[in-house]
């Protein structure tokens, strides 16, 4: 199935190039649910959750296309959860990006990943503690994302990542993960992490949170999202943030022209 671009994608590079300033908003959380595609039931459950979030779908996983279609039907954002080599030697998912690839091999693998996840508007790394430290690989990655007008979210699986700074240098819209919700997979720990979202958002304005389609995570979010909203949290998708930046830039230019 051919990947379709978000209608706003054409202008994202321009937004980043113009360095749109931060916008005053309610406290916002950009929630990314990683590792989607192997479990159909869990993926559909995430796609059907009643608030904005983003599904990071692993290319070539058995249910990637079906879950992407369900997510789109429910108004959710979809990104490519790109398999990349890690420092601990774990096996990389099929079609992953690994050290030692030539540029042609890298580009072909990445193009295949993008084609395998319909409706994707961006990409984040799956594992990648090794590859995201490699400047040349990240340059190649950002060149491709810019060409296809996609954004990048750094999962920050290593503090030594150069992915974010490389994305910014390439004028690719980018964010980085602030918190994992379910590094410890038990209900108490997950709820403790969810409880950190509001104070983090009050401090930062926008928090990028990553979770996984575990039953414990889905249950915790289902039980708390309405409370978080009443406390002032606004759940947002990356493309919504970019749209807000475009509107803010337009208003800023209008004020400059017509003070």
Q: Is residue 53 part of a domain?
A: yes
Q: Does residue 14 lie in a domain region?
A: yes
* CA distances for 146 relative to 32, 88, 208, angstroms: 21, 30, 21
If one counts the domains in the chain, the total is: 1
Residues of the domain holding 119: 9-257
Query: Is 145 within the bounds of a domain?
Result: yes
User: pLDDT of the chain along its 259 residues, tens only?
Assistant: 434 444 444 344 344 333 334 444 579 999 999 999 999 999 999 999 999 999 999 999 999 999 999 999 999 999 999 999 999 999 999 999 999 999 999 999 999 999 999 999 999 999 999 999 999 999 999 999 999 999 999 999 999 999 999 999 999 999 999 999 999 999 999 999 999 999 999 999 999 999 999 999 999 999 999 999 999 999 999 999 998 866 666 566 666 676 6
Which CATH number covers residue 167? 3.20.20.370
Note whether residue 3 is domain-resident: no
Burial class of 109 by CB neighbour count within 10 A (0 to 12, 13 to 18, 19+) = middle
* CB 70, CB 77: distance < 8 Å: no
Q: What is the pTM of this model?
A: 0.88
- Flag whether 80 is in a domain: yes
Q: Residue 135 domain-assigned? A: yes
The answer to whether residue 125 is domain-embedded is yes
Asked if residue 4 belongs to a domain, the reply is: no
């Amino acid at each position: 199935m051919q990947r379709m671009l978000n209608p706003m994608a054409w202008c994202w590079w321009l937004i980043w190039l113009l360095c749109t300033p931060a916008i005053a908003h309610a406290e916002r959380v950009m929630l990314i649910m990683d590792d989607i595609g192997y479990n159909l039931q869990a993926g559909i459950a995430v796609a059907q959750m009643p608030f904005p979030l983003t599904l990071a779908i692993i290319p070539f996983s058995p249910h990637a296309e079906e879950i992407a279609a369900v997510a789109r039907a429910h108004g959710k954002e979809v990104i490519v959860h790109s398999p990349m080599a890690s420092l601990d030697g774990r096996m990389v998912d099929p079609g992953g990006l690994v050290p030692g690839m030539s540029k042609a091999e890298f580009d072909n693998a990445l193009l295949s990943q993008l084609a395998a996840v319909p409706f994707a508007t961006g990409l984040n790394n799956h594992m990648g503690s090794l590859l995201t430290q490699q400047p040349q690989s990240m340059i190649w990655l950002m060149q491709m994302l810019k060409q296809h007008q996609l954004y990048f979210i750094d999962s920050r699986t290593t503090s030594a990542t150069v992915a974010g700074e490389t994305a910014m240098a390439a004028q690719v819209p980018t964010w980085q993960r602030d918190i994992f919700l379910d590094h410890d997979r038990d209900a108490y720990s997950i709820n403790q992490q969810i409880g950190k979202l509001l104070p983090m958002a009050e401090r930062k304005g926008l928090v990028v949170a990553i979770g996984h389609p575990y039953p414990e995570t889905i249950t915790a979010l289902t039980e708390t999202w309405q409370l978080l909203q009443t406390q002032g949290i606004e759940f947002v998708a990356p493309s919504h943030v970019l749209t807000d930046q475009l509107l803010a830039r337009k208003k800023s230019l209008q004020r400059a022209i017509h003070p």
